[in-house]
Structure 1
Amino acid sequence: MPFFTVDGQALHYIDQGTGPAVLLAGSYLWDQAMWAPQIAALAPHYRVIALDLWGHGESGRLPENTTSLDDIARQAQALLDHLDIDQITLVGLSVGGMWGVRLALSAPHRLNGLVLMDTYVGVEPEPTRQYYFSLFNQIEESGEISDALLDIVVPIFFRPGIDPQSALYQDFRAKLAGYSSERLRESVVPMGRITFGRDDLLPRLGELNAATTLVLCGDQDKPRPPTEAQEMAELIGCPCVLVPEAGHISNLENPQFVNDALLKFLAERDSRR
């Protein structure tokens, strides 16, 4: 498993396939394994890079000087430099889209295309921010994500009709329950505060290239509802596509629809090279 040391910590990533490069940037509380259906679909045609957030998957702890999503974007760009990749199509879901937009704005020459999935780059609505921060405080104090908190947190990521006994649901719940106190306090909770305490990038969305940007959102996404996706797409001037029968982790709840949308988008980018 390849690692890249940046800001004193080991960032874990996977690198599969050959061809034009695609960087997959995933959700808070998920690791690169969430992209398994997309990697299987894309790797026969593209070079697919997927990384683990700090404190997630196999990546090391959050570096001490990492205090914003701009830092995460800078670290991802350093990974691209390390891999000698000049240009990517970036597919960012949730926090992956939040820092992905920052990478697109700071280094537009590095992007051949941008797909924003189930994400929002405006500030977190204040009631939601306060609620999430109260959960972070509970987790930090107890050093665990208790069963009671799991009952609150896990359903947030899925459409309301999902079978709670499904492997997708139960595997995610088990992974969260297994986080060590050290990982939670050093990385997961601080990463959450960075994510939900972000600044507002809505005024800068017009700087993105509308012709090479796509917004995707699960039609039943609760934390990042379709209204947010549509607002961003209007500000960018790009298409907004709703993923049917999907919640926040839309790429896993309706992988075939997402795969088809990504392959179509990537083929359009390839034809314009």
Structure 2
Amino acid sequence: MRLFLRCAATALLVSLAHAQPAEPLSPNTDVEARYTEASDQFVPIGEATVRIRTEGPQDGYPVILLHGFTFSLETWDQWADALSPNFKVIRYDLMGHGLTGPDPQERYSPEERAATIGDVMDALDIEEAVIVGNSLGGLAAWRFAADHPERVKRLVLVSPGAYAMNGVADEPVPVPPALAYYLREVPEVGLRASIGRIYSYPDRISADRLQTLYDMMKRPGNGDAFVKSIEEFVLPDPAAALAKVTSPTLLLWGTEDKVIPVDHAGRLLGHLPNAQLVLYPGIGHVPQEESAKSIRDVKAFLYDLK
């Protein structure tokens, strides 16, 4: 684990050194006013207040979308637009992210993030749903499906966390200072370097999307929550837990994912009893933003639930 984090910090510093200048970003002084929409609710979950956005017919089958680390619910804009004519689409900012912000109870471990899915469903009076998750959200999604199979009708995992990577072990360790600095301060050059790893075509990211990523990371308190999340993050052997997932599962993965290697997809197929895999050539870690085909595959997977 220490080796992995040191390598990550070193890679960040190298990226900073070689990043090219670009039009500077200006932080927004009122992030809540800029990004809150009429379809948003701020719902108490324990001591935290979670931003939840609900779109689509109220009697539609519920589909819950979970974003990845340092992101926010805006990553799902394209999918929400495509699904909301037929489904009740629910997405929320994870604890310590977006407009949800820091959790006073610091429920940032993978187990606690999985439990929060159930808390959100309970708050919205939802007994069963389709659960969709990308990256960290995908890790929470399959863990919830393993713990509560009766509440997950279908599962969609978009390049999810699952297996140990580069020496990540069972015990959490402190975050290297360089990485902690980036997460807390979000230097613009560092953000631009980071998206070069997350996206396969970073030059295609709109100015508005980049601004959103920047604003959500810069929101007061989120940086400390990011660091705390890593300090609590572990990836123990998932085989036994994955075997408990009974929901039909759709795995989506970009072949050029630089965050979670695509070879993890084959391992998941071997451990998930009822899964199918779709690969996206040339796509990175967030197919929901980069591949138009991804939402077509999801709609085909859910066609009979309308």
Which TM-score tier does this pair reach, normalised by the shorter chain? 0.7 to 0.9
Q: 1:31 to 1:65 in 2, by over 3 A?
A: closer
Q: Please, which runs of 5 or more residues in structure 2 have no aligned partner?
A: 1-39
Q: Which runs of 5+ in 1 are unaligned?
A: none
CA distance in 1, matches of 2:297, 2:173: 34
Q: Report deviation, 1:261.
A: 0.7
Which of the residues 112, 137, 162 maps onto 2:180? Answer: 137
Aligned to 2:49: 10
Q: Does structure 1 residue 253 correspond to structure 2 residue 290? A: yes
In structure 2, what residue type is equivalent to 1:202? A
Give the letter for the 2:226 counterpart: V
Overall identity of the aligned pairs, in %: 22
TM, length-normalised to structure 1: 0.85
Distance 2:231 2:161 in 1: 15
Aligned residues: 262
Q: Conserved in 2, the CA contact under 8 Å of 1:139 and 1:145? A: yes
- 1:229 positional shift: 1.2
CA contact (8 A) 1:222 1:247 kept: yes
Task: Give the counterpart of 1:263 among 299, 302, 305.
Answer: 299
Distance 1:182-1:198 versus aligned 2 partners, 3 A rule: farther
Deviations 1:185-225 (A, max 9, x none): 43122224444x34332332122126x11111012111112
Q: Give the structure 2 partner of residue 208 of structure 1.
A: 245
Compute the TM-score of the two structures, normalised by the length of structure 2.
0.77
- Matched residue type, 1:87: E
Q: Contact between 1:90 and 1:100, CA under 8 Å: does it hold in 2?
A: yes
Task: Note the 1:69-80 alignment, pairs <5 A.
Answer: 69-80=110-121
Q: 1:191 to 1:65 in 2, by over 3 A?
A: closer
Residue 65 (structure 1) shift: 4.2
| CA shift in 2, pair 1:132/1:122, >3 Å | farther
The 1:206–1:41 alpha-carbon spacing in structure 2 relative to 1, beyond 3 Å, is same
Matched, 1:97 2:133: no
Cα offsets for 1:59-89 (capped at 9, x unmatched)? 1313324141111121221110111111111
Give 1:151 shift: 4.5
The CA deviation string for residues 91-121 of structure 1, in whole angstroms up to 9 with x for no partner, is: 1110011011111111111000011111131
Structure 1 132/173 Cα, relative in aligned 2: closer, same or farther at 3 Å?
farther
How far apart are the structure 2 equivalents of 1:81 and 1:178?
Answer: 26
> Match for 2:281 among 235, 244, 250?
244
Q: Shift in Å at residue 154 of structure 1?
A: 1.9
Correspondence 1:41-190 to 2 at 5 A: 41-126=82-167, 133-134=175-176, 135-139=178-182, 143-159=184-200, 162-164=201-203, 166-168=204-206, 171-172=209-210, 175-176=213-214, 179-180=217-218, 182-190=220-228
Distance apart, 1:152 and its partner CA: 3.6
CA distance in 1, matches of 2:108, 2:74: 25
Larger Rg: 2
Cα–Cα, structure 1 residues 257 and 149, in superposed 2: closer, same or farther, change >3 Å?
Answer: same
